[in-house]
Structure 1
Amino acid sequence: ARGRGFDVDDLAKHTEYSGGYTAQSRTVAIFWRVVRGLSAEQKSKLLMFVTGCPRPPLLGFAHLQPHAFRLHKVSTESAGGIMSAMLTRAGLKTDIARLPTASTCFNQLKLPNYKTEAQMRSKLMSALDAAGDGFHLS
């Protein structure tokens, strides 16, 4: 798939879901529509953001190590206590105000429950742009 980035269907097939998301969740369907519309460069940025590597595993996403790619639902309600108060003060009390974050050690994208494709695309692109090139090991 040179020039087109990675095989989105292969990634979707080998993705796990947590925090309340399932493969049938509306937000998950919106996520995959947005990812299918990304350029090859944007897809590489997404992989770098979530996994720490800009390329898929040589033998496909079934071989992603050390964990499968995971979409995890995050919400402000799950923050609780001091974190919830901080989010409210920062104006981020609504899920759609937050950007996606990632835990590269777990190949996990923490994805707020965006309701529209436009929200998803905007927030995902903002997160990828803010992340830049990530970090590099020498």
Structure 2
Amino acid sequence: MLRAQVSNASKLQYLEALAQWRLAARVRREVAAFLRGLALLVPTNLLAIFDENELEVECAPSRLLGRRFAPRANMWCTVTGQLLVCGTGEVCVADWRAHALVAGSGRAWERLLGWFWAALANFSGEERARLLQFTTGCSQLPPGGFQELNPRFQITAAPTFGALPTAHTCFNQLCLPDYDSYEQLVHALLWAINEGGEGFGMI
């Protein structure tokens, strides 16, 4: 075993080596055995498309006959790419706002944007999901949230007044007309996402 004295200059290298030992090298045999068992259930080439955030391994006591499980632990494992298939159901307004592209200018537009974000903050989770679906065609986000949405979510000033918002799902774009009040904006948004969710706009 190699022994070396740790100095102030080498402390980061030491910590990295220690973490590598504790998290990987020390359990190398156990991880290799786990991977061999997992490969019996799921082909390795299918697992390769998932990263650590997208892969979910759920283990529970085996109650089903005919399902493969580890005899010692009497456990069976379900491996899914749930996040990749379903995305994330949580729609965070702060994340939405941080990664939105905004096209518009002027004092009236700034006021309208303030109303829009306030409306989103007051929407229920279901209403946010409906607005997301209205704008992007999908009610859930990809793993990683709005920063992984491609193309990025866009809010554009529509050259109309008092009309319903429109969306271009191919571009993840919401076109927002001007309104007299916050209440009118909320009414128009809710009307659009609840009654017009199946439609789409053409440029």
Unpaired runs of at least 5, structure 1: 77-94
Tell me the SS of whatever aligns to 1:17.
Answer: strand
1:63 aligns with 2:148: yes
1:51 aligns with 2:139: no
Q: Using the TM superposition, give the Cα deviation of residue 109 of structure 1 relative to its aligned residue in structure 2, in angstroms.
A: 0.3
Deviation track 1:40-73 (CA, whole Å, cap 9, x = no partner) reads: 11111000000011012211111101x1111100
1:128 to 164, 182, 193: 193
Judging by fraction of residues, say which structure has more strand: 2
Q: Looking at CA atoms only, which structure, 1 or 2, has the larger radius of gyration? A: 2
- TM-score scaled to structure 2, two decimals? 0.50
Tell me the SS of whatever aligns to 2:190.
Answer: helix
- Code of the aligned partner of 1:131: G
Q: Which residue of 1 aligns with 2:42?
A: none
Q: Do the aligned partners of 1:19 and 1:72 also contact (CA within 8 Å) in 2?
A: yes
Q: Which residue of 2 aligns with 1:7?
A: 92
Distance 2:186 2:132 in 1: 15
Unpaired runs of at least 5, structure 2: 1-88
Distance 1:11 1:114 in 2: 22
- TM-score scaled to structure 1, two decimals? 0.73
Distance 2:189 2:169 in 1: 16
Tell me the SS of whatever aligns to 1:99.
Answer: coil
Q: Do the aligned partners of 2:133 and 2:197 also contact (CA within 8 Å) in 1?
A: no
RMSD: 2.2
- Code of the aligned partner of 2:92: D
Shift of the 21–100 alpha-carbon distance from structure 1 to 2, 3 Å rule, reads: farther
What is the percent sequence identity of the aligned residues? 36
Shift of the 133–39 alpha-carbon distance from structure 1 to 2, 3 Å rule, reads: farther
After the TM superposition, which segments of 4 or more aligned residues of structure 1 sit over 6 Å from their partners? none
- Code of the aligned partner of 2:190: M
Number of positions where the alignment pairs a residue of Structure 1 with one of Structure 2: 111
Q: Which has the higher contact order (CA 8 A, sep 6+)?
A: 1
